[in-house]
Structure 1
């Protein structure tokens, strides 16, 4: 892999990771455009590391605040700290649900999840749900002070479905949070904060799959370039999405998902299986 291909894939990963359009589907199509697939998980790990560093850096003050509030509430039981304390518990609960059920779902269905047809169907479903939540369902007005355990359960279950390539993690959690009746600001914040333990956890678990051979085949310079490209574009993607959701419509993302599903069907071999 040359450095330009690495940067291209890093940009694709960074832009798509936090938008409700499925980064997995974009990486697969990008590999097709480049004419080859990436063997092993080593390169993918570096791409995700760039995204996770970006989201941690962007929400660094929020993360520090939540950690301080969590332990302060345990020690002092201050009433004003209660909502943020429970937000931490909700993040843990949703993460545990995703971790347990996600592994079970992936192990059960295996390669059946990774065909172009399945990816196209998943993208289409993501688009449909984005339209439904935007047009057919009244977006709620509950803030973090009014979040419940049920909200965390619903979002955690929705995030579990994102193990299917083509189902956007950010899209599924955002849709579920809005469906639960949370307002946009709370839904976006919860979705982004929830991405940190999920992406970080999956990346750490995948570290054992790194091999010297796969690293050598990609090259150190290409890995670093992909990481930097992913970090920068993930950062820009986070900023853009938060600003967009304050005034934009989810329908635009739905239309994009439909078009991407069509591209997947037209240009990827329907009988092929994505190899990671």
Structure 2
């Protein structure tokens, strides 16, 4: 890949991984619509490492607190508020993990098209608008129950469809369950950690099996840029979420989806 392709794709990954607008859609589109070469597995691993490091670093105090509580309470055979949230994250990760293992090949061959991206971008964008408008937004993350985690986890499995947006669909589910925007976003970000880690590990194993030569310059640059852009994205998103709401992202999704449909006509 050319240098500017690396820069653009890494920044896109960092920004869209946590915004409710679908990172997979934005990474697929340059190759399909602009004729850019496929970024390759090594680059995918690099940007996954960058975004994973970003979300862990940004929520480092919360992550360390939940991890310590989970270990301590598990040893003592009890569940507290922090260890309960850690278990909720684990439970919500299972449906998407199973769906990924069972359906990955089908999705890779049948659903990674511009038409699917356009329709899912519009459809799930409208669903996000509905959830934001109709949700009670009265619950905080501390009130999240095991049942809530499973429902959000089942919704997260839909993010395997390109154009859905993992953060978008998990926030949609949380808003429908009555959580406020900030809690929906924070749980979505925490929930991304095990899933991004698993996706990065699978891609790494696949890369090792293929034995592809690594372009370390591209890998280092991609990981660094995706890390920086992801940290900035998370911070600004949470800072302005209550002030701006989710409508700007809904409008963006609708415009993007319509543009894709026009280009495919």
Q: How does the TM-score come out when normalised to structure 2?
A: 0.91
Deviates more, 1:187-196 or 1:244-253: 244-253
Aligned residue for 1:263, secondary structure, equals helix
Q: Partners of 2:106 and 2:126 in 1: how far apart?
A: 26
State the 1:198 CA deviation: 0.3
Determine whether 1:188 maps to 2:202.
no
Deviates more, 1:181-190 or 1:192-201: 181-190
Could you tell me whether the CA contact under 8 Å between 2:29 and 2:114 is conserved in 1? Answer: no
Q: Partners of 2:34 and 2:3 in 1: how far apart?
A: 13
2:205 to 169, 186, 208: 208
State the 1:148 CA deviation: 1.3
Kindly tell me the number of residue pairs found equivalent between the two proteins. Answer: 264
Spell out, residue by residue over 1:24-45, the C-alpha distance to the aligned partner (whole angstroms, 9 max, x if none). 1111223346532316422111
1:262 to 255, 258, 263: 258
Determine whether 1:224 maps to 2:220.
yes
1:240 and 1:124, CA in 2 relative to 1: closer, same or farther beyond 3 A?
A: same
Q: How does the TM-score come out when normalised to structure 1?
A: 0.88
**Match of residue 115 from structure 1:** 113
Deviates more, 1:64-73 or 1:163-172: 64-73
CA root-mean-square deviation: 2.1
2:96 to 89, 98, 108: 98
Deviates more, 1:144-153 or 1:204-213: 204-213
**Match of residue 20 from structure 2:** 20
State the 1:64 CA deviation: 0.6
Q: Partners of 1:144 and 1:162 in 2: how far apart?
A: 22
Could you tell me whether the CA contact under 8 Å between 1:19 and 1:170 is conserved in 2? Answer: yes
Q: Partners of 1:77 and 1:105 in 2: how far apart?
A: 35
State the 1:89 CA deviation: 0.7
Structure 1 unmatched runs, 5+: 271-276
1:154 to 151, 154, 166: 151
Could you tell me whether the CA contact under 8 Å between 2:107 and 2:160 is conserved in 1? Answer: no
